[in-house]
Amino acid sequence: MRAGTWSVVTGALVALAVAGCSSGDGPAAEEEAEMGPISRMMQEAYGEPDEQQMVDQQAQVEDLVAACMAEQGFEYTPVDTSGQSFVVPEDGDVPEWGSVEFAERFGYGMTTSDELAEAQGYDPSVEEEMPVNPNDERVMAMGEGEQQAYYEALYGVQTGTTSEDEPVEYDWTTAGCSGAAQHEVFEVEVEGTDTQDLQTRLGEIYEDAQQDPRYRTAQQEWATCMGDEGHDFTAPEDAQQSISDDLNAMWEASTTGEVDEAVEADLREREIAVAVADAGCREGADLDGVLGQVTSDLEETFYAENKAEVDAWVAAMQEKNGS
């Protein structure tokens, strides 16, 4: 897993720009929005995911963790993840995610997860075997104090969670041997450039795009459309979150590990109805296309102001990934 190489927020830039290439109806939708310069360069730097490369990288991480733990005075046996799949297979008989056609069949893919898995080529009745951790037995035999010291060496000191208003930012320097190993294998460093700060500033592009007047106008059009369809939501993320909240509540109410079939059927019907309306209203308001275009415009400005830093960072990515 490319932990740390392409942060979730930064990675979203590419996804948003791609969305701008295929959203909406009519002639305007036929004119593909150009991907932002940074998203385009990042996509080229990483290329298509390579299964063997990811397996090899994860093996490197495990070996580095073992060496680091030994320095801390602990024995750590690398976990063999060679049997794990790190690349998502082709979608098979599945419409484009977020399309009306997808929503009509699978909603958001929550209550319909088994059907979606089958359509993607998975067998939901067969659980993928997780790699056996050869360290578990040794750690369980430790005393409480030794266990705590072991986990602090492996993952760093856990400071607990903060409120949603103050999310904890990942810092590999405080994430123990695991963080240090992932940093060495996956992270890209550029001499004279604070790449973490650069990624943080890039992440702000996504936040700024959502506050752009063009996107806010499209979002209001989406909300009006959803209201006309009988669904009262002011923000697109609220529609999907409402189904997720109800799904969690349904399972939390279960005391047997099973859920009431009638309740599940009702939620499935609601999920599909909300998702279909959501997808249709997104298309009507060209919500994803507008967000993609706004993001692309903001990238253009950011790149013009930080060209040297971005070019050096992307060049380092390309060298590390052999692309």
Phi/psi of residue 80, each to 5°? -85, 110
Question: What value does the mean pLDDT take over residues 225-243?
Answer: 96
**How do residues 171-211 score in pLDDT, each as one tens digit?**
888 999 999 999 888 877 777 667 778 888 998 998 999 99
CA dihedral 182, 183, 186, 189 (to 10 degrees): 180
Instruction: Report d(CA 275, CA 287) in Å as an integer.
Output: 15
96 vs 27 pLDDT, higher one: 96
Residue found under tokens 């960072």:
313
As given in the structure block, the two tokens for residue 284 are 């009507």
pLDDT at 160: 58
Structure tokens at 27: 């002639």
What are the distances in angstroms from CA 38 to CA 129, 165, 194, 212, 312?
38, 28, 17, 19, 12
Amino acid identity of residue 246, one-letter, is D
Q: What is the mean pLDDT of the chain?
A: 83
Residues 314-323: pLDDT tens digits? 888 888 776 6
40/280 Cα distance (integer angstroms): 28
Q: Where are the domains of the chain?
A: 8-321
Average pLDDT over residues 211-219: 97
pLDDT tens digits along 121-135:
776 566 656 678 999
Residue 193's DSSP bridge partners are 190
Q: Residue 37 corresponds to which tokens in the numbers above?
A: 């310069």
CA of residue 293 relative to chain centroid, distance:
21
